[in-house]
Structure 1
Amino acid sequence: MNVATFRFYAGLNRFLPSARRQCTFSAPFAEQSTVKHMIEALGAPHTEVDLILVNDKPVGFDHPIQPNDRVAVYPAFHGLALGENARLRPPPAVLHFVADAHMGALARLLRLAGFDTLYYPNISDDEIARYCETEQRIALTRDRELLKRSVIVHACYIRSNKPERQLQEVFERYELATHVEPFSRCLVCNGRLYPVDKLAVLHRLPPKVQEQHERFLQCTGCERVYWEGTHWASLRSQLDALLPPS
């Protein structure tokens, strides 16, 4: 039987059985197995892996495992610059996302911060994979098996159950703080917001809003109208509290 040794580092240990966490262990493998196949067979989705060393040398996902190989597997580390030879995938070309059916609150927060984030309450795994493949979107999910689909290149496994902490996870993973554009996307449909003349939307406004406000934004998708009322101020405070200090 062919056997290699493996060591998973930092956050990747959460995907392993407790007996294999924070230690080097041996595992059998079949002929012609690649490191990607073995990493995912052992529990870690490929999207969470940022560096693989085999016998202390960086390799790609398609590297074939050999008997007695020593495989070290590392997650994405914030601020760590990898050489081109070590990089497993190019960085995301565009910072836009697709959230799974359980990530509605996170999707809303990302939209509040100005990030293009698709979300549908009944979105299927197949649809998420298709958006990732055809639009190069970054998947946001707690579904480990979804992240093992080969067509999903960029994704973030969300650890927390709390939306505020989930947002922080995504901000840290993709260094989003410098890309924030508050109130540039509709919280409901993800459409872009643009300034609109008051007269053009006057028929949509409650009487008090007509009297008290002059500046408005409208969604290009659902045509919902936004203005700087108390709800706006509350959302602004919520976002400011969530963003990392500048």
Structure 2
Amino acid sequence: MNQQALFRFHDSLKDFLPASRKDGWVSYGFKGQPAVKDAIEAMGVPHPEVDVVLVNDVPASFFYLLLERDRVEVYPARSHVSWPESYSFGVLDPAPDKFILDVHLGKLAKALRMLGFDTLYRNDYTDRAIAQVAAEEERVVLTRDVGLLKQKVIRWGYWLRSQHLAEQLTEVIRHFQLKPGMKPFERCLACNGKVVPVSKESVVDALPPKTKRYFNEFFQCPSCQRVYWKGSHYDRMQAFVKMARES
């Protein structure tokens, strides 16, 4: 026999819903006793974006078993409502500042690395591989694929609303409150390794002629051997970092 519960989604969680479900209470039909997490995802909202669940005005976990006529309210992080810390999944299990990105987000991966964040990216990652690495290494998944975020093993994740780099970076910085952890130019843009200062003599054979002539300060990634110096591109990179800090 079908049973009914009522759900209401708030703030940014409405982004996942069709227009007919964005406002007010929505009826959800079910059989048996599904976990509230499964019901939330069946309605289109991936669990990593949820921060607070209230069932009949009482905080509940994702494992709460849904009952006939339950009234469920679902809130994202940074909601318009201020909650006691004990209500928040994010407070109880805070997201790390390590990331893994899907295959469509190569530019964002480089931007996060430029700001100093441990960011994994490969253009041949499968969704299964992303979920597995995220679980094993305790990383946040960033993606444009809502379905990826619904995989059970993913604890933290965020669906990027924008398709434009600057807006995506602003979304991530604000959502995960990353400004205090920025350490620009510490990571290799190519492979994510940490760069270290090196002598000019140790990398001179890898330098273009004009670079050999005009620059004396160098950094290198021990992982992929890429060499960095503060050429004309450095001013553009500093401007990008300034924009990120002010976002």
TM-score higher than 0.5: yes
Q: CA deviation at 1:239?
A: 2.1
In 1, Cα distance between the equivalents of 2:47 and 2:236? 39
Q: Name the counterpart of 1:65.
A: 66
Matched pairs, number:
244
Q: Structure 1 residues 215, 243: closer, same or farther in 2, change over 3 A?
A: same
Q: Name the counterpart of 2:130.
A: 128
2:155 to 153, 156, 159: 153
In 2, Cα distance between the equivalents of 1:115 and 1:219? 15
Q: Name the counterpart of 2:19.
A: 18
Q: Structure 1 residues 179, 158: closer, same or farther in 2, change over 3 A?
A: same
Q: CA deviation at 1:242?
A: 2.8
In 2, Cα distance between the equivalents of 1:237 and 1:155? 28
Q: Name the counterpart of 1:216.
A: 218
Q: Name the counterpart of 1:42.
A: 43
1:90 to 85, 88, 93: 93
Query: Does the 8 A contact of 1:168 with 1:243 survive in 2?
Result: no
In 2, Cα distance between the equivalents of 1:26 and 1:234? 52
Query: Does the 8 A contact of 1:34 with 1:62 survive in 2?
Result: yes
In 2, Cα distance between the equivalents of 1:5 and 1:78? 20
Q: Name the counterpart of 1:179.
A: 181
In 2, Cα distance between the equivalents of 1:241 and 1:43? 33
Query: Does the 8 A contact of 2:11 with 2:79 survive in 1?
Result: no
In 2, Cα distance between the equivalents of 1:23 and 1:81? 20
TM-score computed with the length of structure 2 as normaliser: 0.94
Secondary structure of the residue that 1:64 maps to in structure 2? coil
Query: Does the 8 A contact of 1:78 with 1:172 survive in 2?
Result: no
Q: Name the counterpart of 1:232.
A: 234
Query: Does the 8 A contact of 2:11 with 2:80 survive in 1?
Result: no
Q: Name the counterpart of 2:77.
A: 76
Deviations 1:119-140 (A, max 9, x none): 1011110110011110001000
Percent of aligned pairs sharing the same letter: 41
Q: Any gaps of 5 or more consecutive residues in structure 2?
A: none
Q: Name the counterpart of 2:205.
A: 203
Q: Structure 1 residues 80, 30: closer, same or farther in 2, change over 3 A?
A: same
Q: CA deviation at 1:205?
A: 1.2
Secondary structure of the residue that 1:26 maps to in structure 2? strand
Q: CA deviation at 1:176?
A: 0.5
Secondary structure of the residue that 1:102 maps to in structure 2? coil
In 1, Cα distance between the equivalents of 2:167 and 2:39? 31
1:165 to 167, 187, 190: 167
Secondary structure of the residue that 1:220 maps to in structure 2? coil
Query: Does the 8 A contact of 1:160 with 1:166 survive in 2?
Result: yes
Secondary structure of the residue that 1:139 maps to in structure 2? strand
Tell me whether 216-225 or 81-90 shows the greater mean CA deviation: 81-90
In 2, Cα distance between the equivalents of 1:40 and 1:215? 52
Query: Does the 8 A contact of 1:47 with 1:153 survive in 2?
Result: yes
In 2, Cα distance between the equivalents of 1:222 and 1:81? 46
Deviations 1:152-199 (A, max 9, x none): 000111110001110111100111001111111111111110101111
One-letter code aligned to 2:94: P
In 1, Cα distance between the equivalents of 2:81 and 2:130? 28
In 2, Cα distance between the equivalents of 1:225 and 1:205? 8
Query: Does the 8 A contact of 1:39 with 1:46 survive in 2?
Result: yes
TM-score computed with the length of structure 1 as normaliser: 0.95
In 1, Cα distance between the equivalents of 2:235 and 2:81? 36
